[in-house]
Structure 1
Amino acid sequence: MSGGLLVAGTTSDAGKSVVTAGICRWLVRQGVKVAPFKGQNMSLNSFVTREGAEIGRAQAMQAQACRVEPTALMNPVLLKPGGERSSQVVLLGKPVGELSARGYHGGRQQALLGTVLECLEELRGTYDAVICEGAGSPAEINLRRTDIVNMGVARGAGLPVLVVGDIDRGGVFASFFGTVALLSPEDQALVAGFLVNKFRGDVTLLEPGLDMLRGLTGRHTYGVLPFRHGLGIDEEDGLRVSLRGTVRESAVAPPHGEDVLRVAVCAVPLMSNFTDVDALAAEPGVVVRFVDRPEELADADLVVVPGTRGTVRALQWLRERGLAKALARRAAEGRPVLGICGGFQLLGEHIEDDVESRAGQVPGLGLLPVRVRFHPEKTLARPAGEALGEPVEGYEIHHGVAEVLGGTPFLDGCRTGQVWGTHWHGSLESDGFRRAFLREVAAASGRRFVPAPDTSFAALREEQLDLLGDLIEHHADTDALRRLIESGAPAGLPFIPPGAPA
């Protein structure tokens, strides 16, 4: 096989990331050497590659689906929102500055198209197939002129386009038709067809609609994927986390011991890498929920203060909501608190920030003997070490540099009593360390909780990726999909003028 494909979507959250991962896993199981690609990603969930480059976590997950090591080529442009109107621009894994949305779309973005296409071309020269993920919708006509992730990439690289629609939201036929109709003739010529995602029920009831859609558009539907719980692995957007919901819960598996452990995650503004708690939620008998009120910490055995792209803003938010006082009470009572990255920084004595918020020196929560100073250069690293007698690996992404003045060393941070802080993302994915940490939490909380001795987070992730591959293999027209990847969009696809059915 030799070729490529762009997986676009009718909307954000249509399922592009997981469909891309599923196609990648299906192909690699067929013996195809495949790589993922996303020209531009907007996400607060990121990852550090072995060469020290920062990319979106979704592309790191897709690389795992391909059973290859992630690289900066797979996500050349990463935007990390710092508020409503500006983002940090990460180019080929390194930050190059902050830009407003107007400044970025006003000229900077189009200048990056050449870099994006060069990265894609390099991947295509190395792999049998490259499965590209789009962003948002290709029919965002106000942004088409500067597009470097949807039809701009498809046109530049001659890729066929598969449009994914989330039928669980309703209106999927209108979304499919409208997406194609809003595109130019040149863009429409690359849209080969559709893939229905998250279908519930009897697929035969859907088939008349699919036949009508083909009649209206002249395009094939490449599959109907059934709804499956628990497939939202490594979501891109840390700004839309459902508070007080079951965003991350492992309530299915009974505890290995007599008790469950309850973990409350403070849903701070601009929360980043909230995927850090996935490994906790994967542990039998551990229930994880996101919270934003002090009373929701009362029954928690562990409170996690996660990473954030706005440390000083998160600190203010914790104080305004009364969560800062609740955390201080927990610390005084010897009840466990874990701060990760930005969450670690705000647990310290003070923060000197002339980089991220430009707020100067700001008092922290004072729960750890740490002083933080923000540096213009970002730390991007893949550290490894030992904690609680167990090997640990992680990754670091931060501007703040911590000066640890006391306490007990803990990874690169420290602990005082039952307050723990580290810059290491992903440390809880190290199984032995996670179990040792949970035993400490259980002891401090007086719980008869025993971590399951055989839970492997890596194995669970592999199972999820195989399930995604199964969805493609069993519910997509894989023969047609393979032809599409190898040969491109069929010739002579009809142009649909906007409003044609009327």
Structure 2
Amino acid sequence: MKGALLIAGNTSDAGKSVVVAGLCRLLARRGVRVAPFKAQNMSNNSVVTLDGGEIGRAQALQARACGLEPSVRFNPVLLKPGSDRRSQLVVRGKAVDTVGAKDYFKHRQALRAIVADELASLRAEFDVVICEGAGSPAEINLRATDLANMGLARAADLPVLLVGDIDRGGVLAHLFGTVAILEPEDQQLICGFIVNKFRGDVDLLRPGLDQLAELTGRPTLGVLPFAEDLWIDAEDSLSTIADAPVGRSRPPRGAEWLTVAAVRLPRISNSTDVEALACEPGVSVRWVTDPSRLEGADLVVLPGSKSTVSDLEWLRRTGIADALTARAAAGGPILGICGGYQMLARTIVDRVESDAGEVPGLGLLDLDIEFADPKVLRRSTGRVLDHGDIGRENDLPVHGYEIHHGRVTRNADRPWLELDGSAEGSVREAIWGTHLHGALESDEFRRTWLRQVAEQAGRTGFVVAEDVSVADVRAEQLDLLADLLEKHLDLDALERLITAGAPPDLPVLTVSR
């Protein structure tokens, strides 16, 4: 097998990322040398790669599905929204500008060349490249600057499959309309459809799919069932919903549950940090936006933010800041990660992200933060310095990655970690903070720390499982996804598209204009 394919979606969060991850895993299991590619991503969920840049987390997961280390090659252009109008532009892993929709135009030709070079390089090195679109190709108002959907497909002559989420309703109209609204040259690369998250008897859907094929001249290559046990790293902001559970909770090993309230910040970044907690039996994690939801939780997590000062103001406006202060006074456990850690400080000086100057933090940790360029991008390994009263005899390893402008200029609390020889993070009573993303994926570290949390919260009946590996859980999810695709997709038709490209006789749909 030799070739490439683009997976597009008729909406955001239609399932593009998971379908690409599943195809990558499926092909890798069959011995195909496969790589993922997303020309341009818009996401604040990112990771640091071995080559020292940052890419969207979904592409990192897709790389793992292929058996590869994450690389900036797999996501050469990343937009990280800091407000409704402006985003940080990351090119080949490095931040190069902050742009709005209009001044993004000045970058488009240079970005097209970078995207073309990276895709050509991957196609020369690997047997198959599975590309992921961005948003929807039906956003015709953005077609002139499109790098990831039909702009990429036309430039690289890629066959395209369109994924639709039937769980949201109206999928047949979405699929038809997405094709019909495109210009003829774009339509002729749309080769078929995949229906995602179907519940019920597929025979009831079949007449609609047959009629869709008659109307468009394009087949549906598979109907993927809604899988209750499947949960993959969140990519799109639509996946991080207030009051929604994270993952699939499993029964506790002991007599009690441990409940976690993760604050769903408006500009949340790296929301996937809390997914490691959700892997644990007896740990129930929910996203919250209301201060009342913090009251009964055993642990509150303040995650990362792409706009620390703005999200801090949101905490104050919603009353969550007051709830956190009351919680700290009562000894309730709190964890701040990256931007969340910065919000716990006494002062924040920011002339980089928000240009707000000096603003007061929540003051729950005795430290000061100042934002500066360049952005810190590094993968880090180290150990735990402060074990509390549990696990003191153990030299607990910890690993993760850092993505932040904020620097600690003063820390009067106990350091929590030692990373690459330097002290990092803070501990004060039942409050912990660190800039390290992904730390909770260090299994022994997570278990020991959860024992501390349970003790502080008075959950004496909570028992930490000794056999949970986050890496294994993610691998199992990828295999489950690959199994679903293997069972429910027309793999022969898929292989023909990859190797032969789009058929030459696909009909063009006409719409009265």
Provide TM-score, normalisation by structure 1.
0.96
Distance 1:118 1:230, change over 3 A: farther
| CA shift digits 1:87-107 (9 cap, x unpaired) | 000000000010112221x33
Q: Is residue 353 of structure 2 the alignment partner of residue 340 of structure 1?
A: no
Q: Is residue 454 of structure 2 the alignment partner of residue 455 of structure 1?
A: no
| CA shift digits 1:185-226 (9 cap, x unpaired) | 221221111111111111122222222222222212111111
Q: How many residues are matched?
A: 497
Unmatched 5+ residue regions in structure 1?
Answer: none
Distance 1:336 1:82, change over 3 A: same
Distance 1:92 1:60, change over 3 A: same
What is residue 33 of structure 2 aligned with on the other side? 33
What is the DSSP-based 3-state SS (H/G/I as helix, E as strand, rest coil) of the residue aligned with 1:142?
A: helix
Give the aligned residue type for 2:35.
A
Give the counterpart of 1:466 among 479, 483, 502.
479
Q: CA deviation at 1:239?
A: 6.6
Q: CA deviation at 1:444?
A: 0.8
Q: Distance in 1 between matches of 2:182 and 2:48?
A: 36
Q: CA deviation at 1:334?
A: 2.1
What is residue 107 of structure 1 aligned with on the other side? 106
Asked whether the 8 Å contact 1:238–1:273 carries over to 2, the reply is no
Give the aligned residue type for 2:128.
A
What is residue 87 of structure 2 aligned with on the other side? 87
What is residue 437 of structure 1 aligned with on the other side? 449
What is residue 398 of structure 1 aligned with on the other side? 404
Q: How does 1:14-33 map to 2 (within 5 A)?
A: 14-33=14-33
Q: Distance in 1 between matches of 2:149 and 2:229?
A: 27
What is residue 476 of structure 1 aligned with on the other side? 489
Q: CA deviation at 1:488?
A: 0.6
Give the aligned residue type for 1:459.
D
Q: Is residue 366 of structure 2 the alignment partner of residue 369 of structure 1?
A: yes
Q: CA deviation at 1:232?
A: 4.6
Q: Distance in 1 between matches of 2:100 and 2:92?
A: 19
What is the DSSP-based 3-state SS (H/G/I as helix, E as strand, rest coil) of the residue aligned with 2:31?
A: coil
What is residue 413 of structure 1 aligned with on the other side? 425
Q: CA deviation at 1:240?
A: 6.2
What is the DSSP-based 3-state SS (H/G/I as helix, E as strand, rest coil) of the residue aligned with 2:241?
A: coil
Asked whether the 8 Å contact 1:18–1:232 carries over to 2, the reply is no
Asked whether the 8 Å contact 2:398–2:445 carries over to 1, the reply is yes
What is residue 275 of structure 1 aligned with on the other side? 272
Q: CA deviation at 1:48?
A: 0.6
What is residue 420 of structure 2 aligned with on the other side? none
Asked whether the 8 Å contact 1:110–1:148 carries over to 2, the reply is no
| CA shift digits 1:306-344 (9 cap, x unpaired) | 100111112211222222222222222222111000000
Q: How does 1:69-468 map to 2 (within 5 A)?
A: 69-104=69-104, 106-229=105-228, 231-238=230-237, 241-246=240-245, 248-251=246-249, 253-387=250-384, 388=387, 389-411=395-417, 412-448=424-460, 449-468=462-481
What is the DSSP-based 3-state SS (H/G/I as helix, E as strand, rest coil) of the residue aligned with 1:112?
A: helix
Q: CA deviation at 1:403?
A: 2.5
Q: Distance in 1 between matches of 2:348 and 2:288?
A: 24
Give the aligned residue type for 2:478.
L
Give the aligned residue type for 1:383.
S
Give the aligned residue type for 1:170.
G
Q: CA deviation at 1:499?
A: 5.2
Q: Distance in 2 between matches of 1:24 and 1:269?
A: 32
What is residue 62 of structure 1 aligned with on the other side? 62
Q: CA deviation at 1:86?
A: 0.5
Q: Distance in 2 between matches of 1:297 and 1:66?
A: 39
Unmatched 5+ residue regions in structure 2?
Answer: 388-394, 418-423
Q: Distance in 2 between matches of 1:466 and 1:485?
A: 22
Distance 1:239 1:219, change over 3 A: closer
Asked whether the 8 Å contact 1:380–1:395 carries over to 2, the reply is yes
Q: Is residue 492 of structure 2 the alignment partner of residue 490 of structure 1?
A: no
What is the DSSP-based 3-state SS (H/G/I as helix, E as strand, rest coil) of the residue aligned with 1:408?
A: coil
Provide TM-score, normalisation by structure 2.
0.94
Asked whether the 8 Å contact 1:404–1:413 carries over to 2, the reply is no
Q: Distance in 2 between matches of 1:277 and 1:290?
A: 10
Give the aligned residue type for 2:90.
V
Please, what is the CA RMSD of the aligned residues? 1.5
Distance 1:499 1:67, change over 3 A: farther
Q: Distance in 1 between matches of 2:8 and 2:257?
A: 41
Asked whether the 8 Å contact 1:392–1:433 carries over to 2, the reply is yes
